[in-house]
Each structure stands twice: as C-alpha cells, then as structure tokens.
Amino acid sequence: MAHRVNIAPTLLHWAIKRSGLSVDELRSDEKFKMLNEWLSGERRPTLRQLEQFANKTMTPLGHLFLDAPPEEPLPIPDFRTRGDVPIERPSPNLIETIHTMQRRQSWMREYLIDEGLPPMEFVGSGHKLRNTTSLAARIRERLGLNVDWAEQHGSWEDALRTLRESAERIGVLVATASVVGLNNHRSLDPEEFRGFVLCDEYAPLIFVNGADSKSAQMFTMAHELVHVWVGRGGLFNLIQTMPHDDEMEKFCNQTAAEFLLPEHKLRERWHDVKQHVNPFKPIAGWFKVSPVAAARRAMDLGLITRKRFFDFYARDQAEFHKRRSERKSRKGGPDFYVVQDVRLGKRFAYAVVRAAREGRLLYREAYQLTDLKGETFAKYARRLQQRMIDERQ
C-alpha cells in the first residue's frame, strides 16, 4: 500500500495560487483527480502524487512540508506596476529566473577577480547625473556607438544584436530567454516583466525577456543599461509604457528614451512624417524601437496628445497579441546552439567553457551553470570557441 503523507491543505492552496493555475486546470489531469479531497483534508496524497503536484505547480517539494507557506520576497527592487499599483505575487518562473541569474553572476564575479581584472569604472558612474541627454551620450560613447547607430542597421534584429554585443564587449553580461532554463513548458510572460538588472562592479548582468518583441527588447536593453550606469538593480515591466512611480525609475526611463530616440533627431524627422496616418511606423523603423516607444517619446516631447497616444497604444496592443498568437502556431526556429549564445550571453558562456577546459571548474558545475549537459555542452563549447576565433580574425 502506498504511503500517504500528512500535508497541510493550506500549503496546497498556497502552491496552486502561487503557480497561477486553477483548481479546475489541475483536476483536468488524471494525476490530480482527487485534488478537491486533498484540499479539504478528506484524503492525503501519496509521496509520488505530492512530487507530481510539486512539479506541476513549480513548487520546491520541501516547501510543502513546512508548517506554513514561506515568504518569497523578490531579491531585487521591484519597479513593476499594474494599474498604477505594485504587483503583489511574482510567478515561480520569475523567481527561479532571478535566482539562476544571481548564481551565474556570483560565479562570474569570482572568476573575474581570480583573473586579476579590476572593477568596471562605468558601473554606478552616472548616479549623480540628472541630465538625461548627457547620460545617454555618455553611455553611447562608452559602448562605441554614434548617435545614428540604430539607423545604420536594416532590421530590429541586427540593431539589437549590435547593442547586445556592444554591452558584452565592455563587460556587461547579457542574457535573453523566453523560458525557464530549457523548459519550453515554462514560458516567461512579458506582461509580468520585461527585464531586470543585477548591478555589480565586476559582473553587471542584464536579463531581457525574450518572449517580448525584438523592438520592445531594444527598449529593455537601453533601460537596463541606464540602471547599470546609475548603479541600481531592479525589475521592470512598463505596463502602458508607464514607469513605476519612483523618481530614479522615471529618470532611467527618460534616459533610455533619449538613448534610443535623441530629441533633436526625432524633432528633425517628425516634420517628414507628422501628416502620415501612422507616423510612428517609419519612426520605429529608423530608430529600431517599437511603434509604441516612438509614440510615447512623441507624447513626452509634446508632439502628440495623450489621447492620441493611448488610442494608438490600444490598437497596437491588440495587433501585438494577434501576432504573438500567430507566432506560437508556427513550428521550427533558429539553430539550438546559436540560440545558446543569446540565452547565456557569449561573455558568460565563454568564461564557463574556458574554466571547465582548464580544470578550474568541474564539468558538473558547468552543466548546472549553463543547463547544458554531456555531449550537448561539449558540442556547444566547440562551436562557441570556433565562433570566438572567427570573430577575432
């Protein structure tokens, strides 16, 4: 007879609420047909059933044996809002992603210190600046980008790649992913968060939600780069393009907008498009930002009214959700090993590969840091090293 475990129903209720799933969704799975009885305390699950429940609700199994639900505060400042109020409960996907990035950053920090490298002088160097134009120019200069850099690219993908690689070249770790680890069943929701930054003078890390559109990822990258320069980590989402009601967060948002859409350049271009039915589309194409970001910048500069902006925002969001549904129905995708460069960030991945091959890092630890194991890790390592050699030639 299977051993049944004594679990407090309050912990089961907590796990379900934390997961974002409903009782009906869970009960539709044959494994949880007795869920109502577990929740009422009439019956107890077996250990195997509890393990399956923990896996399904993305709950650490040990948490279900506690006396009461644990507190799970976010380990970084939370600048997300929904309807002008903070978001109370982070999803398990978000919590796990932050913890994973913290582990990678911690390892990279120690690796760089062991290499004898100095701290990066630009981290926190702009915390006293309150001029968005000056700080945006300083960031562009450090990245080696001119004011017209985005217009020199033919697509959002190319411009985003340039921005990401420019950041990595100066020492910023950049990771972009749309799911937790390699689990395609645990998607990251861009409406919950668009990105976050973990500030550190040796290994500043930017995480971008890859489930977002490429043009939206561009603004996330710029926003989080500003956070690196002001030396303040945090998590953000920008519902209706509105930042958290925090003066520094507003400053970061404004500086990111100036970085991507310099005021003097946008005013020059506005005369060419202001009579168009949708002037934001060509602006977005020039500066490689989303049409919404272009419209928001135009509103902030007094070029359009708030009503016009929010009318456009509502239409654009409806079109975005339609496009996202169509993308989900398509099959196929880019090469798995090429995707890892973006998911892990080439700077971080190359350091792990090098340390493992030099015997400074156990392979099992390299597997844990990258989510790649055995021959998959070996094949990726070979390809990455060859790409790094090709890029240097």
Q: List beta partners, residue 195.
A: 208, 236
pTM (2 d.p.): 0.87
CB atoms within 10 A of CB 87: 18
Q: What residues contact residue 65 under an 8 Å CB cut-off, 6+ apart?
A: 5, 7
Q: How far is CA 77 from CA 183, 246, 364, in A?
A: 26, 11, 32
Structure confidence by residue, pLDDT tens digits, 40-84 = 888 898 889 889 888 899 888 888 888 888 888 788 888 776 555
Average pLDDT score, the chain: 88
| pLDDT of amino acid 241 | 56
What does pLDDT average to in each consecutive run of 10 residues of the chain (393 residues)?
Answer: 81 87 87 89 89 89 86 81 62 93 97 96 91 96 94 88 96 96 90 93 96 86 95 80 72 92 93 86 89 89 89 76 60 78 95 95 96 94 84 67
Q: Residue 345: what are its φ and ψ, rounded to 5°?
A: 85, 125
Structure token pair of residue 55: 């896996």
Rounded-to-5 percentages of helix, strand, coil across the chain: 60, 10, 35
Q: Residue 275: what are its φ and ψ, rounded to 5°?
A: -90, -5
| pLDDT of amino acid 176 | 97
| pLDDT of amino acid 85 | 53
| pLDDT of amino acid 255 | 95
Tell me the C-alpha distance between 299 and 313, whole Å.
12
- Rounded to 10 degrees, the C-alpha dihedral 198/201/203/206 comes to 30
Q: What residues contact residue 287 under an 8 Å CB cut-off, 6+ apart?
A: 150, 151, 260, 261, 265, 266, 294
Tell me the C-alpha distance between 36 and 88, whole Å.
26
Tell me the C-alpha distance between 290 and 240, whole Å.
13
**How does strand 183-187 pair with strand 179-180?**
antiparallel
| pLDDT of amino acid 378 | 94
- Strand positions, DSSP E, the chain: 81-82, 85-86, 173-177, 179-180, 183-187, 195-198, 205-209, 234-236
